Structure 1
Amino acid sequence: MKTVDLMYQTMLAELAQRTMDAAWTADFPSEGRFITMEVKGKRYWYFDMPDGSGGKKRRYVGPADDPEIAQRVEDFKRDKESLRDRRRMVASLTRQGGMVAPDPMSGDIVEALSVAGLFRLRAVLIGTVAFQTYAGLLGVRLPLAAILTGDADIAQDYTISREVEDTLPPILDLLQAVDPTFRPVPHRSGAAASTAFQTKGGYRVQFLTSNRASDDYIDQPAKMPAPGGASSDPLRFLDFLIREPMRTVLLHKSGVPVNVPEPSRYAVHKLIIATKRRTDGHFVLKRDKDLRQAELLFEALYETRRSSDFALAYDEAEERGPAWREALQEGKDMLSKDGQRMLSQILRLGNQQIGKEKTDDPQ
């Protein structure tokens, strides 16, 4: 697998910092102030902004124990950012650096949601649009066939959505500002709530959440306070994927700050989810893409010395119970021969590094 030149990896890190700084400045102008509040025994940062009529509007910022947020609050100031400079950086990273830009539709949608505050409210971009960011995060070149998409998937933990006490503007308004043909998709359960929105051309945006302990919630849309009135589909295994997400930048226009799953978790999750796809029609294509993306990440994580990260994620999934172990084994059996070899290789090395397997073990 070809790697990305260190110069461009460094440039991506700089772009990500500038993009997050610019988003921070836009979200939190100097006339406001930061405060901390306790919610259900946990402390969070909020931002109070005068509303022009003697009152104030309060916005959620993030957990009080997040060191990056704490540092930004401490250093709070207005920094002017050069939009033109960041656009040039994005162009250089995608044209010369070998990193991946989303298709314009995906980029515009994610940008609109990001500007509205979706990722500030700790939502996580998942699916293929998130996978595209791993070229930069891991410093590898990803084949185009594995990164094409016609949809955007957004996930948020149910408890987080309830606790942030903040929300987006109406989600349909945000999407229709990008493409006026966006319409709610009727839910398969017959419920009035929608968890997905689709354009006349077939582009789909779907909202997902972690399943809350019982399968009774599956196939029933969950009412989520944070994403602008959109409900979310509860899915098994999703809590594993979106635990401890990473901040990065989507290479669209001048850069869009997003949260994405940690790459090792993404790889393990794809291995599991591939076994849950139906075996007819376009679901076969989705399953094949799941497996291909997992195989690419096995190789990328191995070559970039992240085998221990993968082994820890895989080990966590195995420890979640028999259904998880069965899905992992079934997913492994569905891999190509090269994919099975790479999975065994990264697990062996990773397990050695975390002390789960002896270095002289022939297995």
Structure 2
Amino acid sequence: MKSVDLMYQTMLAELGQRSLDAAWTADFPSEGRFTPANIKGRKYWYFDIPDGHGGTKRRYVGPDNDPDISQRVADHKRDKDDLRARRRLVNTLTREGGMIAPDAMSGDIVQALADGGLFRLRGVLIGTVAFQCYSGLLGVRLPMAAILTGDADIAQDYAISREVEDSLPPIIELLQGVDASFRPVPHRSGSAASSAFQNADGYRVEFLTSNRGSDDYVDQLANMPALGGASADPLRSLDFLIREPVRTMLLHRSGVPVVVPDPSRYAVHKLIVASRRHINGQGLAKRQKDIRQAALLFEALQQTRRSADLALVYNEAWERGPAWQDAIRIGAGMLPASDADRFKTVLIDGAKKNREEIEPPFGD
């Protein structure tokens, strides 16, 4: 596995800092522009913004001699210049640096949710779109075959959703702002609520939450007050995946600051998920992708000297009991021989660094 050149890793860090520092306002978004107008001998500022139909909408701002407005105009120009610079950084990182950009639909969906406040409300991007972010996060080149997707998965802890006392705008409106054909997908429980939305091309956006209670809740939607009217499907082991997530960048347009699972947790969780896949329909292909992504992350974690991180989260999962141990064993047993050997080596090396015992899933 090739490493990403240090120069490009430094550029990614710069992009992240610029994106996090950018202050966008609802009144004057970046795609608009301030326009001066002379009316009866006096100069005024207006703000023109695309209306989505080839025209523009004009909004009155105020007189030219108002110092606060003059400062706002100057700041907006500076921010637009920074936006263009960040877009150039993204293009360099993906075209020359070997990092991964999402497909346009995935990128637009994540950007719309991020702009709506998803990550501020402690949502976590999971699944293959999150996996795409690990190239930059770990500084390695990941093969495109492991990152193709037709969906976006979002997770939020149930307790967080109830406690933040804030919410995204209506999810359906955010999604239809990207593609007007998005519609709620009826839930298997027959509930009027929905945890998934799909467009006319079959692209699916799904919301998930953790289930640490009874199996009676597996097929029942969880009400998520912070998700703008969307409910979420409760899943076993999801709490393990989204614990202590990390911030990074999705390399879309000018860069989207996102929150994703820790890569070590993602890798171990993929083994568990693979062990539970049914092989009917698309299940077999999804299981193969789970195993491939886990194996690639084990290699990347070894290459970037993060074996101690992997050993810590592996032990956390192992100590959850026999059901988790069986799932890890089954998932690890699906790894090709060379990847299984690497996984064992990385675990043992990490345990030594952590000065703790470890029981690899393959035995001695």
In structure 1, how many angstroms separate the alpha carbons of the residues matched to 2:118 and 2:25?
12
Give, in whole Å, the separation in 1 of the partners of 2:303 and 2:355: 20
> How far 1:191 moved relative to its partner?
1.2
Shift of 1:114: 0.4
Report the residue type matching 2:285 in the other structure: L
Report how far residue 212 of structure 1 moved. 3.7
Is 2:116 the partner of 1:116?
A: yes
What CA distance in whole angstroms lies between the structure 1 residues aligned with 2:25 and 2:209? 25
Residue 230 of structure 1 is matched in structure 2 by: 230
Q: In the TM superposition, what is the alpha-carbon distance from 1:163 to its structure 2 partner?
A: 0.7
Question: Shift of the alpha carbon at 1:343?
Answer: 0.8
Partner of 1:351: 351
Residue 318 in structure 1 maps to residue 318 in structure 2: yes
Q: What is the SS of the residue equivalent to 1:141?
A: coil
Q: Which has the larger radius of gyration?
A: 2
Aligned AA (1:110): V
Amino acid in the other structure paired with 1:91: N
> SS of the residue aligned with 2:84?
helix
Q: Distance in 2 between matches of 1:106 and 1:322?
A: 37
> Match of 2:103?
103
Once the two structures are TM-superposed, the CA of residue 336 in structure 1 deviates from its matched residue by 1.1
Percent of pairs with identical residues: 67
Report Cα offsets for 1:125-170 as digits up to 9, x if no partner: 0000000000000000000000000000000000011111000111
1:306 is aligned with what amino acid?
R
Structure 1: 5+ residue stretches without partners: 30-77
Task: Give a deviation string over 1:224-244, Cα, whole Å, max 9, x none.
Answer: 011110000000000000001
Give, in angstroms, the shift of residue 357 of structure 1: 4.8
Report the secondary structure of 2:191's partner residue. coil
The 2-side partners of 1:181 and 1:338 are apart by: 45
Residue equivalent to 2:268: 268
SS in 2 for 1:26: coil
Q: Is 2:152 aligned against 1:135? A: no
Shift of 1:219: 0.9
Deviation at 1:327, TM superposition (A): 0.5
Instruction: Give the aligned partner of residue 206 of structure 2.
Output: 206
1:259: Cα distance to partner?
Answer: 0.3
Taking the aligned partners of 1:20 and 1:234, their CA distance within structure 2 comes to 31
1:215 corresponds to: 215
- Could you tell me how far apart the structure 2 residues matched to 1:172 and 1:120 are? 19
Matching residue of 1:39: none
For 1:287-323, what per-residue CA distance to the aligned partner results, in whole angstroms no more than 9, with x for missing partners? 0000000000000000100000000010000011111
CA distance in 2, matches of 1:335, 1:210: 26
Deviations 1:248-295 (A, max 9, x none): 110000000110000000000001000111111211000000000000
Partners of 1:283 and 1:330 in 2: how far apart?
A: 16
Deviation at 1:27, TM superposition (A): 6.3
TM-score normalised by structure 2 residue count: 0.83
Q: Distance in 2 between matches of 1:135 and 1:120?
A: 23
Runs of 4+ with deviation above 6 angstroms: none
- How many residue pairs match? The answer is 309
After superposition, where does 1:40-189 map in structure 2 within 5 Å? 80-81=78-79, 82-189=82-189
Q: Distance in 2 between matches of 1:115 and 1:144?
A: 27
TM-score normalised by length of structure 1: 0.83
Distance 1:113 1:333 in 2: 37
Specify the SS of the correspondent of 2:159: helix
- The residue matched to 1:112 in structure 2 has which SS? helix
Partner of 1:26: 24
1:101-131 deviations in whole A, cap 9, x for unaligned?
0000000000000001011100000000000
1:58 is aligned to: none
Q: CA deviation at 1:28?
A: 10
1:105 aligned partner, one-letter code: M
Report the 3-state secondary structure (helix = DSSP H, G, I; strand = E; otherwise coil) of the residue aligned with 2:208.
strand
